[in-house]
Amino acid sequence: MSQTPKTPAKTSVLDRVHLPSDMKTLSDAELKKLAAELRTETISAVSETGGHLGAGLGVVELTVALHAVFDAPRDKIVWDVGHQCYPHKILTGRRDRIRTLRTEGGLSGFTKRSESPYDPFGAGHSSTSISAALGFSMGRELGAETGDAVAVIGDGAMSGGMAFEAMNHAGHLGKRLFVVLNDNEMSIAPPVGALSAYLTRLYAEGPMQDLKAVAKGAVKLLPEPFQEGARRAKDMLKGMAVGGTLFEALGFTYIGPVDGHDLDTLLPLLRTLKARATGPVLIHALTKKGKGYAPAEASPDRGHATARFDVATGAQVKAPSNAPNYTKVFAESLIAQAKRDERIVAVTAAMPDGTGLNLFAKQFPRRCFDVGIAEQHAVTFSAGLAASGMRPFCAIYSTFLQRGYDQIVHDVAIQRLPVRFAIDRAGLVGADGATHAGAFDVGFMSSLPGMVVMAAADEAELVHMVATAAAHDEGPIALRYPRGEGMGVDMPEAGQPLEIGKGRVVAEGARVAILSFGTRLAEVLKAREALAARGLAPTVADARFAKPLDTDLILRLVRDHEALITIEEGAIGGFGSHVQQFLMEQGVFDRGYKFRAMVLPDTFIDHASPAAMYRAAGMNAADIEAKVLDLLNVAVARRA
């Protein structure tokens, strides 16, 4: 039974491990003690920083075994996504910084090449590890100074098509490659440990060329009580091919299932494979997310992502909420629309909780679809639903929607199918950093013919934009909104469809007009207050739409003001670029009109709090104020 670790913890073995090379002198008994101490250290660190706890706890023994057997950094251990990499970071020279995880200037929550030579490949999105590891493997074959390549991929990430594309290629090439399938979802019969130990002995004793035959015939050699567990595990991974699992059909030697928490199984197995493998091998390891920490094991998500928490109780330390969460506002607004229209359905790609669609699913279980980590499929599936006459809302984080862009272009936009894209986590997202920043969706969506692109300035606007999307059947439409709490504005009783392509003036002023797209509007209004104190209060408008543009509003702002500034939470090539193109075509710049576009800088911004990231981006109220003063050539004393 899992026990909550007591503090302060004694870490006599972990204290001796500064790099993986220090593990080579440890006995197997000491490695077991190291794993226990590593689990305690991981829990302690994440309790102070918050982060992805459950995944790391599930791979503690795997991490110890991989680093004890392989020779990183020459051997390349590639962690898929990176959620599970915290124990890896502790063992690879970063223990002294582990309590800076996901904080400004601290360690990344994911693997990151620039952070350590022990992170051979960066990851924030899933299903990439096998492709990358295969690249390392073939680099070795072609003479690169590298050793073995090991991809550690979760069962959820295996639902991403890219993983199977990589396995298909690896099987075709037939070169030495190790893939560890970290399976924390499957539950099979109790004698898994005995089965694992039995198979391990077979592998350790038999010649490597017989390994595939052993794997196929092992079930028949087992005592009857053990056979059912093995069959269930193998059957759950059956492919269409006759006579073997899908992995075997793809050219891999399949080994498993093995107990991913049993070092007595993992160590001899990995040592045997390192000594004898010649081609691609898949090790199917059964693990438990949150393993060894009772509060995580008892949590519905097994402690996937947590705020700071109390180690003794698992209780999370969260700041009190002052305003509704954007994601929840979206979900509740969609539920309200779906109650009135049975054609409304919802689609997400393995993020029902993150997108709020878990709430929708409780109300309408038959009308909500989680397709797994498969954004491409999610988009085209939504297109098919739209073509059938349904009204699909495809809810995907901005950073993940990038993965389905070809399908957005080819399957949705060209056919003008009315798929509603709910783009969560738009803009800079904080602790997850550059891999999860929603910086590019305005540009890549607004460039598509027939696509309507909206951004909510606050939570009330989001309610209206959900209603707008629900009513829009003329083609695809997207609405974007950020992570976190809203502005605390008064909420409407019900959403009302907005007129497509029409913005609104929020505050009348003079000389300069600021046209905001998205939730920077709050910072614009703060800047206006500061400028008003100088007698320079600008006009402020909320564009609402990046496409189609409200050209009447834009021309009015140009006509009545000597300068125009646009601002958006996105990279260059988005809303401001579209406004600039329109004004250029109108000849506005021919007479020397002053125009500036405030966008995210042309760099990837490292993890920090959202406020710090926007400060680094130069997009807070003080920056907006300075931009106005500079544009008007108003000299001001520099702030200390």
Annotated binding site: 83, 124-126, 155-157, 184, 293, 375
Summarize pLDDT for 507-546 with one digit per residue, the tens.
999 999 999 999 999 999 999 999 999 999 999 999 999 9
For the four alpha carbons of 485, 488, 493 and 496, in that order, the dihedral sign comes to negative
In the structure encoding, which two tokens stand for residue 289, read together?
Answer: 């997310």
pLDDT at position 245: 62
Q: What is d(CA 126, CA 153) in angstroms, rounded to the nearest whole number?
A: 8
Class of domain 14-302: alpha beta
pLDDT at position 198: 42
- pLDDT of 191 strictly over 70: no
* Active-site annotation holder among 76, 403, 480, 520: 403
Summarize pLDDT for 240-255 with one digit per residue, the tens.
333 236 778 889 988 8
Does CATH number 1.10.10.10 belong to domain 326-480? no
pLDDT at position 319: 67
**How much is the average pLDDT of 307-314?**
79
* Same fold? 14-302, 504-631: yes
* Active-site annotation holder among 39, 112, 289, 420: 289
Residues 467/500, Cβ–Cβ less than 8 Å:
no
- pLDDT of 436 strictly over 90: no
- pLDDT of 148 strictly over 80: yes
* Residue 289: active-site member: yes
Which percentage of the chain shows pLDDT scores above 70?
Answer: 87
Cβ-based neighbours of 20, under 8 Å, separated by 6 or more? 67, 68, 71, 72, 91, 92, 118
Confidence of residue 170 (pLDDT cuts 50, 70, 90): very high
In the structure encoding, which two tokens stand for residue 583, read together?
Answer: 């004004």
Every domain of the chain and the residues it spans: 14-302, 326-480, 504-631
* Active-site annotation holder among 61, 375, 459, 461: 375
pLDDT at position 372: 86
Annotated binding site for thiamine diphosphate: 83, 124-126, 156-157, 184, 293, 375
Summarize pLDDT for 355-398 with one digit per residue, the tens.
999 999 999 999 999 998 889 999 999 999 999 999 999 999 99
End-to-end CA distance of the chain: 57
- How far apart, in Å, are the Cα atoms of 506 and each of 22, 152, 509, 528? 63, 51, 10, 11
In CATH, the architecture of 504-631 is 3-Layer(aba) Sandwich (3.40)
Kindly report the average pLDDT of the chain as a whole number. 87
Summarize pLDDT for 224-234 with one digit per residue, the tens.
544 555 555 45
pLDDT at position 157: 83
CA angle centred on 22, ends 12 and 92, rounded to 5°? 90
Q: What is d(CA 268, CA 264) in angstroms, rounded to the nearest whole number?
A: 7
pLDDT at position 217: 45
Summarize pLDDT for 252-281 with one digit per residue, the tens.
988 877 889 999 889 988 998 999 899 999
Cβ-based neighbours of 494, under 8 Å, separated by 6 or more? 336, 463, 467
Cβ-based neighbours of 625, under 8 Å, separated by 6 or more? 527, 530, 531
* Residue 339: active-site member: no
Amino acid type, 524: V
Strand ranges, E, within 295-428: 308-309, 316-317, 344-348, 368-370, 391-397, 420-424
* Residue 297: active-site member: no
- pLDDT of 623 strictly over 70: yes
pLDDT at position 300: 65
Q: What is d(CA 70, CA 604) in angstroms, rounded to the nearest whole number?
A: 32
- pLDDT of 626 strictly over 60: yes
* pTM of model > 0.75: yes
